[in-house]
Structure 1
Amino acid sequence: MMKNRTRQTSLSFDTSDTQEISEKIPQPQAAPPDQGDPNDLQGKEVWIVDSHSLIFQVFHAIPPMTGPAGQPVAAIYGFARDLVFLLEKKKPDYLICAFDLSGPTFRNELYDQYKANRDEMPVELPSQIAGIRRLLEAMTIPVLEYEGFEADDVLAAAAKVVQEKGGRCTLVTTDKDCRQLITDNVRLFNVRKDAFYTAESLLEDWGVRPDQVVDFQAMVGDSVDNVPGIPLIGPKIAKDLLNQFGTLEGVLDNVDKISGKKRKENITNGRELAMISKQLVRLRDDVPLSWEWEKYVVTPVNGQACEELCDEFGFRTLSKQLQALSTGTAGEGETSALQATKLDYQAVETIDGLKELVEILGQQKRISIDTETTHTSPRWADLVGISVCWQAGTARYIPIQTPAEDPSLPLEEVIELLRPVLEDANIKKLGQNLKYDEIVFRGVGIELAGVDFDTMIAHYLLEAGARSHGLDELARRYLQHETVKISELIGTGKKQILMSEVPLEKVSYYACEDADIPLRLYDILGERLEEEGLTDLFDDVEIPLVDVLVEMEYNGIRVDTERLKNLSQAYGERLDTLEKEIYEIAEQPFNIASPKQLAEILFEKRKLPVIKKTKTGASTDAEVLEQLAKQDPLPRKIIDFRQYAKLKNTYIDALPNMICPKTNLVHTSFNQVVAATGRLSSNEPNLQNIPIRTQEGKEIRSAFKASREDWVLVCADYSQIELRVLAHYSKDAALREAYQNNHDIHAKVASEVYGIPLDEVTSNERRSAKAINFGIVYGQSAFGLAKSLDIEKDEAFGFIDAYFRKYPGVDDFMENTLQQCYKDGYVKTILGRRRKIDGVRSPQKRDRLARQLLMPERTAVNTVIQGSAADIIKLAMIRVHKALAASDLRSKLLLQIHDELVFEAPPEEVPSLVRLMLPEMTQAIQLDVPLVVDVESGQNWAECEPVELG
């Protein structure tokens, strides 16, 4: 539990004397007269960077990088890259970087605990901040700072002057204190999200106006800066009070009108802290700076100085961008060619023209390709056209289906003419989401060879947590180019048309652009992969995996529609019965699917306690219902109703509609760039969400069968792979010994934790140990374990404490992982996959013995384990795929679900398939403990039995 330490703080002055508060604040000195025209900013865009805020952002966001001399340079690179982005994309008229000077400010005099909880600056940063200052000088970007004030105060002062002179000011910062500066002509900008933050954003976020921000923060406080606020007053209460009374003073003067005895006491007792907090969070706009606006105008950078620094730091790509800024050609050439009128985008309208194109393509070492089709699912799609690009700005579109008035080429002739190029592995292929194109090509008889670079996958490895890896986003971010959107061609909703119905002229430009952009991104993303040490993972795992996923998606799996029809009827009857039972218990009918109506029944009519609230009222989510089910029979019926309704709607009734009419099979789509851990996911259908061990899950799985009636499914499942990865990483002797001797790990842990002989462990004790084992992997707290086992928190804490005493290597592994993540800003999997994670606390701020991890900390530990397991199964898939291709077996790999691979095979091939597959899976990587695979086979996915090899 977090203790409120503010009451024990020694204040540096008498808080009752507000006059003394104002005397502690440095008073402005007379500034020299303004030398510029007071109206010279009229209509101008002035951008001011909160430099330290941005430096810390990029420091934690970018994995460590070293320059040629081994010096740390990641923060310099990230800061410079963002400045280049601002100059090229936002094109400010004026650009300034505000800095904090070292040493105390007036706020430390007001309150001696201000920012006292801040950690020391990471040792890698001071030299990089000095490098950033040198780079700013080379880029001719001025710096503003003033002793005794923070950069936020400089931003406030600048924003005030800019407005007075008629300009518009954009503050590049994520510091919440700056929200108080927002006006019609002052906005904030988050460079990480490429998003502006305005008064509308503030209202949606905090529910207050800009002029109420200071009062809001004074009440809520700020743990980052150690601003005390009013104890036990959170954002929602603060918002409601300000909406009622307008200001902090209005709240303090009307305590008697505030509901709740405890709340009144908190506000009354917190009055002095609130007034101190208000002084701390209010930004000063009278910093006595000399404003020299002629020096703040954006001018070309010093090309030679920038080149020398880039050589010193090892920034090759950045050097090119800075050179463009030095000549005033930023945004031209490679970046702006897409927007120029000299693009060579053409449709190939004759067979002779296609033959000429094929001759050109056959001479290339690398080409970018894209397909246009009639469907988002490649097995359902018909090929509309093919676009190719072999040099930036030069692309061709080969139309196959067009409106009647436009020319097109026969599919058969197109395929045969392109086959030598597309099936030539020596001509490397690149593109965006090539898996889709490869499946489309296979559907028309072409085996695409030489797949070498996928921009979507490359960006995923570089920015696993990014919201989008789509081509539109990549073009915007790296090329500063707005692409033609597909909705501009085919429309949306009921008016949407097929791509084959769009006029050739429009499709041709769109398709050529889709081939051109990946070619332009190739060098940019490829260089970043190399800089961040991800090239091997990309080349040896993620790109080879594309061919495996193509095979799986193309193969598809059969679903038994008759079985689904029977299940649909049975589930409908179960839902009807549950509905009647629910109405009977509730003593009235109501809309069970309506959270609002359900809340009225549970909390108003049945007087059950409100567990938690949402923005719209009392929550009725699954977690809440599970707790309420201990007190009342209705919540359990609601849980059951929701479960059956979800399974019926999501799978039983939906699966028949997912059967491809061309194949009579279901072709799920495997997502390679979604989960930040590196795991694969799937959709249409989402196979990962089908329950595994419940009866309902087995019923649904029983509908999945081999594509041929006389074939069987073969399921190969890694046994406890995540716990084995934990044993490998932790180097814990007891854990490794248990796996090396093939012990039942859950029974072994129960024996150790409970202190009883292995042969006396009961099923309940083993169940508890299993929950602990898997809970550790996910960083589960004693509270979480207590809930999952339905035991007291103290008992759960005792289990966890006993576990770490028996397996100290696991404790050390978790601690080392968190320390490394705190230091580097990211964690790595066994193959070097990186995931950037913010929010991990320093060792000094974490109580190791309390076993209370924050979400980012749980994520860090889990990513190493789960991500490494994902790496291993990807390696196994690649090995099995190659082994199958080299064999004479007819067996096929169909599905991957977490740690399980699903094949189909003729019954007589099962032993051979198992003998082929087992060594590829168990030897996919060398761990300190053996990898074990359990293999089962059966007529459907639910009814499989262990395979016994003779």
Structure 2
Amino acid sequence: MPIRNSVILEPDRLHTLVERFMERPAFSFDIETFGPNRNVPTQNVANWMSLATDGIAVAIPFGHPNGDVLLSKATKKKNKSTGKFDPIPAVYDDPPEQMLPSEVFSILKPLFFAEDKIKIAHNATFDLISTAKYWGEIAPPQYSDTIVLQWLLDENMKQKGLKDLVKRYYKVDYDTENVGKCVEAHPFSKVGHYAFMDAKYTWLLWKKFQKRIHDQGLVNVRRLEEDVLGVLLDMGITGAPVDQLAMQELVRDMSARLVDIEADIYRAAGQQFNLNAPAQKAGVLYAPKKDGGQGLRPTKPTDGGKKKRESGQELEWKDYSTDADSLEKHENNAVVKKLLEYAEVSKLLDYPLSYLGIEGDPKKPCRIFDGRIHADFVQYGTVTGRFSCREPNLQNIPRPDTELGKRIRGLFVAPAGYKLVVADYGQIELVVLAHFIGRGDLYKGFHNGVDPHSATAAALMGVDPQEFMARVKSGDRTCIDFRQVAKGINFAVVYGAGPDKVASMAKISVKEAKRFMEMHQKLFPEIYRFKEEVVRVCRSRRPPYIRTLLGRKRRLPLILSQNNGLRMGAERQAVNSLIQGSAADLIKLAMIRLNNSLPDEIRLILSVHDELVVLAPEDRAEEAACLVKEAMLGEGIQKLLRVPLSSDVKIVDRWSEAK
């Protein structure tokens, strides 16, 4: 078959190929993996590598099990012990003789370790970490990632997979069977063609994106993302150490607690029902007391309920939502109180279960290897520039100011002889807001050492900020309550939340929340003028967009919508994206600065929103703390802002001890 001409089977051809690639400044590559942990780059096994550059594209097999002649088709056979049908894979003739992985990676090493060569992949963290185990180290920078470039060019695009982009830009569909999901199930030439096309189109996309990045003024933020990619590689290889025994104990405790809460719910409701069936919950909560319900007033229809209402149909109890927002409006009800507790514990139980996995369930594998979690921090997973995280998700770790949140964080622990150095930015989003405004009480407060929640609360109370802080420190209940109100209002300013959310956060009535929000608007007019200006500037551009501190674009076409709901949502996103996106710029810059300054014995292992976690030998923990502080607060980053940055740095044994 023609593809065989582009498949490299002999060492001499591979040596010649490397010489040709060494003449080029950049190349793309892609790796195919198999095995039970094929999606975990530190653990998977590779059996194909493909490479491309100007005028060249090849695929290199080193362990593909199949030839091209089908001897027997894939089928299924019933398992007598389980009663399920187990798959029986197709059988092919023998494949051509291939090089050993060690030989392939040895020949390729000079190319990958040439520091003047740009190494390009689509989802590069996966491919670079997958190859690192074969060399015993990560290939050095420079790096580029076509999925990240596409994200910088259009963060709103949903489908950014390689095959999706090839269909979009080249009208080519080269894989209708999802070959990469299980390469070992397919014949040799089919996988060779698939691997060849992956590398070829990654290269073509990279070439296509160069001018677009330049034309959209994204060169600086592209450099930021390509530099932070190197940090993610180190984090991914190092992993975060966890206490597996404590994790198993937590699962047992929380599972038992769920059983107790479930019994409490049934006692409070006077009946049993399916806690995971929203329709049954709605009946118990909203039906009249004479019919055995709680008689609560429903406030929010489900999506189905909205459609029924629009069509003029009368709504039933099951047509109303029982989500957390709906239940929190009735949190004094005994059944609701226990349902909220049940939901919280169930959600938190998901964390250790997602780490430990469920034995025998291939869809829920264990994510702990040699006592560490190697999570995938995704650069392109949000529209604002923040990281997302997967396999498992460590970005949704519970807040440290809750009992269960502390227990989850307590599972991340320094091994014997090591310490965790934990640092987070102080109120980074409000710092960014104050920087952009450049005046007013919020801005002055940062310069005078007053935290923004205290500055807001003091203004609402009409007292001096320093006096207010002293009263909070002395335990003045009124001041403490006002600070909670201020915290809710500041949250609303950044995220565009309404009085319902402020009321919930501050434990006050919606009426009181509205009153305080109106007071805030009068006391801090510069904030609201700034928000209006952000929206105005965004609307004036074609297409509409805002730019973050370091030049990241957030495109918001719906800000021109005639639909009030869509337009107002986009207006909120314009402000939030400017603030959150700029905060993301800063934390990524801090990570790069930190990683560049760390000696080999000290490693950055986690980045969760505005928080960094570093693993250091015990006798170098103080040194690590100084390096972290300099990376986050030093002149190279502080010069970007008109208000002072702050960071709280702690040296601990468990992550939970940092707050």
Q: TM-score, length-normalised on structure 1?
A: 0.59
8 Å contact kept, 1:712–1:939:
yes
Match of 1:424 among 114, 131, 135: 114
Match of 1:863 among 565, 577, 594: 577
8 Å contact kept, 1:346–1:395:
yes
1:640 corresponds to 2:341: yes
| 1:576-611 Cα distance to aligned partner (Å, 9 max, x none) | 111111111222222111112212222233132222
The 1:917/1:801 distance shift into structure 2, 3 A limit, reads: same
Shift of 1:832: 1.1
Match of 1:829 among 515, 533, 548: 548
| 1:818-858 Cα distance to aligned partner (Å, 9 max, x none) | 1011111111111111111133369x999xxxxx9922111
Match of 2:457 among 750, 755, 762: 750
| 1:351-377 Cα distance to aligned partner (Å, 9 max, x none) | 222222222222222211111112112
8 Å contact kept, 2:488–2:501:
no
Shift of 1:683: 1.4
Give the aligned length.
Answer: 584
8 Å contact kept, 2:638–2:644:
no
Aligned match of 1:403: 65
| 1:482-530 Cα distance to aligned partner (Å, 9 max, x none) | 131462465xxxxxxx424532211111001000001111232111111
Q: How does 1:143-292 map to 2 (within 5 A)?
A: none
- Bigger radius of gyration, 1 or 2? 1
The 1:410/1:612 distance shift into structure 2, 3 A limit, reads: same
8 Å contact kept, 1:380–1:661:
no
Distance 2:98 2:112 in 1: 20
Secondary structure of the corresponding residue to residue 934 of structure 1: strand
Aligned match of 1:377: 40
8 Å contact kept, 2:355–2:367:
no
8 Å contact kept, 1:699–1:942:
yes
Distance 2:18 2:646 in 1: 49
Distance 1:905 1:922 in 2: 20
Structure 1: runs of 5+ lacking an equivalent: 1-340, 491-497, 847-851, 946-950
The 1:452/1:741 distance shift into structure 2, 3 A limit, reads: same
Distance 2:393 2:141 in 1: 30
Aligned match of 1:838: 557
Match of 1:473 among 146, 164, 182: 164
Match of 2:301 among 603, 613, 619: 613
Greater mean alpha carbon deviation, residues 861-870 or residues 614-623: 614-623
Aligned match of 2:536: 819
Q: How does 1:543-942 map to 2 (within 5 A)?
A: 543-604=226-287, 605-606=292-293, 607-614=295-302, 615=304, 617-630=319-332, 632-648=333-349, 650-657=350-357, 663-692=370-399, 693-706=401-414, 708-758=415-465, 759-760=467-468, 762-824=479-541, 825-840=544-559, 854-884=568-598, 887=599, 890-923=601-634, 924-926=637-639, 927-942=641-656
8 Å contact kept, 1:779–1:853:
no
| 1:281-304 Cα distance to aligned partner (Å, 9 max, x none) | xxxxxxxxxxxxxxxxxxxxxxxx
8 Å contact kept, 2:149–2:209:
yes
Shift of 1:796: 2.5
Secondary structure of the corresponding residue to residue 296 of structure 2: coil
Match of 2:52 among 370, 389, 413: 389
| 1:889-920 Cα distance to aligned partner (Å, 9 max, x none) | 51110000000000111121111112222122
Secondary structure of the corresponding residue to residue 329 of structure 2: helix
8 Å contact kept, 2:143–2:229:
no
Secondary structure of the corresponding residue to residue 468 of structure 1: coil
The 1:773/1:794 distance shift into structure 2, 3 A limit, reads: same
Distance 2:301 2:413 in 1: 44
Secondary structure of the corresponding residue to residue 6 of structure 2: strand
Query: Superposition RMSD on alpha carbons, in Å?
Result: 2.3
Distance 1:940 1:500 in 2: 42
Distance 1:464 1:814 in 2: 22
Shift of 1:732: 1.9
Secondary structure of the corresponding residue to residue 753 of structure 1: helix
The 1:345/1:634 distance shift into structure 2, 3 A limit, reads: farther
Shift of 1:860: 0.9
The 1:485/1:741 distance shift into structure 2, 3 A limit, reads: farther
Aligned match of 1:359: 19
8 Å contact kept, 1:387–1:515:
yes
Shift of 1:555: 0.5
> Identity of counterpart residues, as a percentage?
31
Distance 1:535 1:442 in 2: 28
8 Å contact kept, 2:179–2:194:
no
| 1:436-459 Cα distance to aligned partner (Å, 9 max, x none) | 111012111153234343210110
Match of 1:533 among 211, 214, 217: 217
Distance 1:436 1:770 in 2: 39
Secondary structure of the corresponding residue to residue 353 of structure 1: helix
8 Å contact kept, 1:781–1:853:
no
Aligned match of 1:217: none
Shift of 1:647: 1.4
Distance 2:47 2:567 in 1: 52
Shift of 1:545: 0.9
Aligned-partner residue type, residue 833 of structure 1: R
Distance 1:801 1:662 in 2: 53
